[in-house]
Amino acid sequence: MNTFATRIATVETPTVNDATPTTPAIWWYHGNKPAKTPGIFYVKGTALQQEPTEPWVPSQRFEHEVGFETRTLHLALITWRQQPYHVVEIVSGGEKRKDRRYLAAWEPGAQIHTEIVCLAEGITEPVVWSFHGMTGRAVMGKTGLFNAYRNGLLREAEQIAGKRLPLWTFWLPLSTLVNAKHQVVYTDTGHGSLVTLPMLALPEAANQTLMDDLFVGEAWVTYGYEVRAQFEDWRHQRRGLNGTMNGHGHPNGHGADVIEEPLADEEVPR
């Protein structure tokens, strides 16, 4: 006879974070040329409701923080928002630090903060990929990976399907920009530092095999529409326009907060 004890022992119990729900943010951290390291995606462990699976591995980047990182990641893009800001210096606890002063509209000298809601490989909940500066150009610029995907793989798939398709139809394989010899490219910011930019690892021409391999599947397409609806209000919300200095803890529109990344000194305005 199967008792409760024997039956419950067969059920895997995942590690769940019972803290206040948040929309986890993922960040792109630059590699280091002397160490010959590539860029990585990073997520705080405390921001997740459940520990991530492959390709994420435990990170040692921050001594007193539980985190996970991966050099390559498949993302499905759902929706996004952008907002201009100025970098300002404030005094907190007797120490100076940089912060953002968000603007209602772009003005000369402003930078652009971009946030993209994504489905991320190995993470069971939607995430927000938050970035600015040169990473912003690499992702959202005219020749960036976002337009490369929309004007390439997605457009060709729409021609085959005979209808418009959502952004999240395909997983986008992302990794560090490399040269023809597959060596990591370290890009000079012009401000005395180097960055490693993300790249879309796709062949120049899409084909049926590629579409089959990267298609998220029917269930994920349906789920993507649900996530898109959840973030409809978030798309139109703007940070720091009520007299506050920054947007930390800004509600995302469905009862959670978006955790924001620290300013990266090596990045320059878009």
Residue 152 lies in a domain: yes
DSSP 215-235: B--HHHHHHHHHHHHHTHHHH
Residue 267 lies in a domain: no
d(CA 78, CA 253) in angstroms, rounded, equals 15
Identify the domain containing residue 28 by its residue range. 17-258
The pLDDT assigned to 94 comes to: 80
Residue 37 lies in a domain: yes
Residue 140 lies in a domain: yes
pLDDT tens per residue across span 76-103: 999 999 999 888 888 877 888 888 888 8
Residue 132 lies in a domain: yes
- Two tokens, residue 84: 């201009």
For 39, the 3-state DSSP assignment is: coil
Residue 5 lies in a domain: no
| Count of domains forming the chain | 1
d(CA 169, CA 36) in angstroms, rounded, equals 34
Residue 208 pLDDT level (bands cut at 50, 70, 90): confident
Burial of residue 85 (CB within 10 Å: 0-12, 13-18, 19+) is buried
Residue 10 lies in a domain: no
> Does position 250 have pLDDT exceeding 50, yes or no?
no
